[in-house]
Structure 1
Amino acid sequence: MAITRRRFLQFGVGGAILLTTAGTGARWFQRSRRQALNGYQQLRAQDVAFLSAVLPLIIGNHPQFAGHLNTTLTQIDRLLHHSSPTKQAELRDLFDLITFKATQGPVTGYWGDWTTAKTADIQQFLLRWRDSRVALLRFGYQGLCQLCHMAWYGSEPAWAAIGYPGPPPLFRSHT
């Protein structure tokens, strides 16, 4: 069967319509999952699952961290809640990209559920983003690490371990 110019254009238009419909449907599906998890103001269930998997590797072998995962997640939620709407949207888009099944595998290299991810899988994902030739992935890695480090080292359990006495008494009521 020879492909005529007319048939080629029909395939092109049909493909464009299909891609537009699929992209719009995926975006609406992601927006429907924007409901924050109970106990959080910004973080959703899929965000908490992802962050719970990567936080221990990003923070590293910190002796105080083991029992304070929930404290750090709450601190991340607080940081997000007090960020500008633009930053909130950027981080939601990053979390959507990482947790949405259609994009998760191609972008992260990990195709499974984050709640069952092995340490080696998470390390491979983090190294892939850190060492990527694609600047956007490197920026995503840096932003994710900075957010996690700010949340952990901005919380009281980390202060004693690094010898920080905390903010001066004048400012303690605001922390």
Structure 2
Amino acid sequence: MKHLPPHLQRRSFLKLGIGAAVVLAVAGGAVALIKPGLVNGRLSPSARLLMARVGQAMLQGTLPADALEQQRAIDAVLQRTDDFTAGLPAHVQAELSQLFGLLATAAGRRGIVGLSPSWEDATVAETSAALQSMRASGTELRIQAYQGLHDIVFVPYFSGEESWKTIGYPGPRAV
């Protein structure tokens, strides 16, 4: 029986895989520490851009048609997101900060979201397609990241009275 050359042996592949995973984890953690996604419990500028683009893509069809009203709705979502994250326990804020920090980088945007253009340059259609790819991914990390982004966009949006009119909800009934 022939032996595989050393560079093609199973053990070499395993070592390479483990080494690559460690390098990516350390690099991702270092990037998140350098550029946190939350500062004092609130979205950093890069996280605000990320969440604005994600919000525009996820909320298609529910946002007002007028561009100015649409921007006001996204700004309201970002403000409610800030209010929400500021009240979270420190360990949850740290995890969100790492997620936002990582997704705000080119490597995180491409590797996890699957979006090539920058958050600033991405169209709503490109962002939406990348998010749907995350949602349908076979990779647990991508699915969990999508679910987190989904919840962080939808809860603040639908908790605001300005969104109720757009979706036809008359508001809570007086008791």
Would you call these one fold, judging by a TM-score over 0.5? yes
Do 1:156 and 1:166's aligned partners in 2 also have CA atoms closer than 8 Å? no
Runs of 5+ consecutive residues of structure 1 not aligned to the other structure: 4-11, 170-175
Do 2:134 and 2:146's aligned partners in 1 also have CA atoms closer than 8 Å? yes
Per the alignment, do residues 72 and 137 of structure 1 end up closer, same or farther by CA in structure 2, a change over 3 Å counting? Answer: same
Per the alignment, do residues 46 and 167 of structure 1 end up closer, same or farther by CA in structure 2, a change over 3 Å counting? Answer: farther
After superposition, the C-alpha distances for 1:26-53 in whole angstroms (9 at most, x for unaligned) are 644432323857xx85101111111111
Do 1:34 and 1:44's aligned partners in 2 also have CA atoms closer than 8 Å? yes
Aligned to 1:88: 93
Moved more, 85-94 or 53-62: 85-94
Deviation at residue 76 of structure 1 after TM alignment = 0.8
Query: CA separation in 2, counterparts of 1:105 and 1:74?
Result: 27
Do 2:42 and 2:86's aligned partners in 1 also have CA atoms closer than 8 Å? yes
Aligned to 1:135: 140
TM-score, normalised to structure 2, is 0.71
Aligned to 1:163: 169
Residue identity opposite 1:43 in structure 2: L
Alignment of 1:87-126 (within 5 A): 87-126=92-131
Query: CA separation in 1, counterparts of 2:47 and 2:173?
Result: 30
Aligned length: 156
Do 2:77 and 2:157's aligned partners in 1 also have CA atoms closer than 8 Å? yes
TM-score, normalised to structure 1, is 0.71
Aligned to 1:154: 159
Task: Give RMSD over aligned pairs.
Answer: 3.3
Runs of 5+ consecutive residues of structure 2 not aligned to the other structure: 1-5, 7-14
After superposition, the C-alpha distances for 1:124-166 in whole angstroms (9 at most, x for unaligned) are 2111111001122112211211111101011121133432435
Query: CA separation in 2, counterparts of 1:29 and 1:63?
Result: 33
Per the alignment, do residues 143 and 168 of structure 1 end up closer, same or farther by CA in structure 2, a change over 3 Å counting? Answer: farther
Do 1:98 and 1:107's aligned partners in 2 also have CA atoms closer than 8 Å? yes
Fraction of identical pairs, as percent = 17
Aligned to 2:3: none
Aligned to 1:45: 45
